[in-house]
Amino acid sequence: MGKKRKHSETQAVEPKKKDEGAPERPKRTLMGWKDKEEVQTQTDSNPESPQFFRNKEKVMVTCSRRINYRYRHLMLNLVSLLPHCKKDNKVESRSSKGATLNELIELRGCSSALFFECRKHQDLYMWMARCPNGPSVKFLVNAVHTMEELKLTGNHLKGSRPLLTFSSNFEKDAHWKLLKEMIIQIFGTPKEHRKSKPYHDHVFVFSIVDDHIWFRNYQISVPHNESDKMVRGGLDKMTLVEVGPRFCLNPIKIFAGSFGGPTLYENPFYVSPNQIRALEKRKKAGKYAKKVKAKTRRKMHEQSNPLEPDEFADMWRE
């Protein structure tokens, strides 16, 4: 479906692509029918015309079995935020996960996927993958707040195109740049999508703090009497209300293939939640042993340094 477009081949591939995207019939003018060659020459003359670029991105959203209620609601929230996504059934298999998922994506005809994997009913991992042979990223998701929380009071049109804002440290490193590109393609609604609404009334915030990607979704609200197209003074009174959901992504690994393949990047600071829990347990486990040790040490110490007999020991004896 989506032919992989290499950067160097843009010029050569573009005209051919335009033919497929352009209307099949030759243009009709007063003089007769314009031939296809004429159309081609016309468009050839400005080879950099971007109007024939169509964003045909489709995202498949699935989850694993035994997912938590909170994470399931997060997934459903994301489904409602992305009108260009397709929600699929739960994926069962543990082994050969990559192959199954790749097949599923091909089957639904999608170009990207968001896969939510919940382990031990506690930890949520999110995979962001580009289907045919694009890169894939595995994140650990923290600090989840869904849209149903009553503290997040904003609301926006379902399917309106979001404005994506990134903090400037996305340009600092290669892996952040790659992540930024993937995020733009997955979270940005295509322009003339069937289910998209015309106005822009919400903003996504992706920001890197402490090597984590934080996500926020705000509604743009302007006082009503000035919400015209050509608002001038309304710019100052613009406020943002949080719609939700909220989550924080911790990148673990970036793979070259979809759901597998050679590792391109590994987060050096990442500690898996299993290890954290194990360490805590070990700390606690040491408590009793330490106590026993301390007791025996005390005993030895007392034995080796006996106290002098106390003068006043018999004072209160009857």
Partner 1 sequence: MGPRSKDLSLLQVENNVEDDADDVIDDASEEEESESEQEDVKLMEPSKTAIYNREGLVEKLEDISWPENVDWMHKLCLDIDQEKEVDVNDDLARELAFYTQALEGTRLAFDKFQSMGLPFLRPPDYYAEMVKTDAHMQKVKGKLLAQKRQIEEAEERRKAREAKRIAKEVQAEKLKERAKQKKQEIEEVKKWRKQRQQSGFKDGKDSMPDLGFEDGKAFERSSKKRPGVSPGDRSGGKAKQGGGKGNNKNKKNREFRDSKFGFGGKKGMKKQNTAETTNDFRAFNKGGAAGNKKRKR
Question: Under rule CB under 8 A, which residues in 270-299 are in contact with partner 1?
Answer: 270-271, 273, 275-277, 279, 282
User: What's the closest the beta carbon of residue 248 comes to partner 1, in angstroms?
Assistant: 7
Give the interface size with partner 1 as a residue count (CB under 8 A).
101
Tell me the residue type at 233.
G
Nearer to partner 1, 138 or 161 (CB): 161
Residues 1-60 contacting partner 1, CB under 8 A: 4-7, 10, 14, 48, 50-51, 53, 55
**CA gap 91, 226 in Å, rounded:** 48
Query: Among residue numbers 206 through 225, which ones bind partner 1 (CB under 8 A)?
Result: 207, 209-212, 214, 216, 218, 220, 222, 224
Q: What residues numbered 138-197 form the site for partner 1, per CB under 8 A?
A: 140, 142-143, 147-148, 150, 153, 155-171, 174-175, 177-178, 180-182, 184-185, 188, 190-191, 197
Residue 65 or residue 200: which is nearer to partner 1 going by CB?
Answer: 200
Closest to partner 1 by CB, 63 vs 82, is: 82
Residues 235-254 that bind partner 1 (CB under 8 A): 235, 238, 240, 243, 248, 250, 254
Q: 142 is written with which tokens?
A: 């923290």
Per-residue mark of binding to partner 1, 109-138 (x: CB under 8 A): --------------x------x---xx---
Nearer to partner 1 by Cβ, of 91 and 157: the residue is 157
What does the alpha-carbon distance between residue 23 and residue 30 come to, in Å, rounded to a whole number? 18
Nearest to 213 by CA among 117, 317, 137, 150: 137
Judge residue 112's burial from the number of C-beta atoms within 10 Å of its C-beta, 0-12 exposed, 13-18 middle, 19 or more buried: buried
Q: Measured between alpha carbons, how far is 167 from 150 in angstroms, rounded to an integer?
A: 28
Q: Are the C-beta atoms of residues 148 and 220 closer than 8 Å to each other?
A: no
Cα Rg of the chain, angstroms: 30
Q: Residue 121: which residues within 8 A CB-CB, separation 6 or more?
A: 66, 68
Q: Which C-beta is closer to partner 1: that of 26 or that of 257?
A: 257
C-alpha 168/C-alpha 100 separation (Å) is 37
Out of 23, 32, 233, 268, the only residue in the binding site for partner 1 (CB under 8 A) is: 268
Question: Smallest distance from the beta carbon of 110 to partner 1, in angstroms?
Answer: 14
Query: Is 260 a binder of partner 1 (CB under 8 A)?
Result: no
User: Where does this chain touch partner 1 (CB under 8 A) — which range of 36-44, 90-98, 257-265, 291-299?
Assistant: 257-265
Cα separation, 62 vs 113, whole angstroms: 8
Cis geometry, peptide bond prior to residue 245 (ω within 30 degrees of 0): yes
Q: How wide is the angle at C-alpha 162 spanned by C-alphas 156 and 163, nearest 5°?
A: 125
CB closer to partner 1 out of 32 and 268: 268
Q: CA 143 to CA 153: how far, in whole Å?
A: 18
Closest to partner 1 by CB, 7 or 25:
7
Q: Phi and psi (nearest 5°) for 164?
A: -100, 120
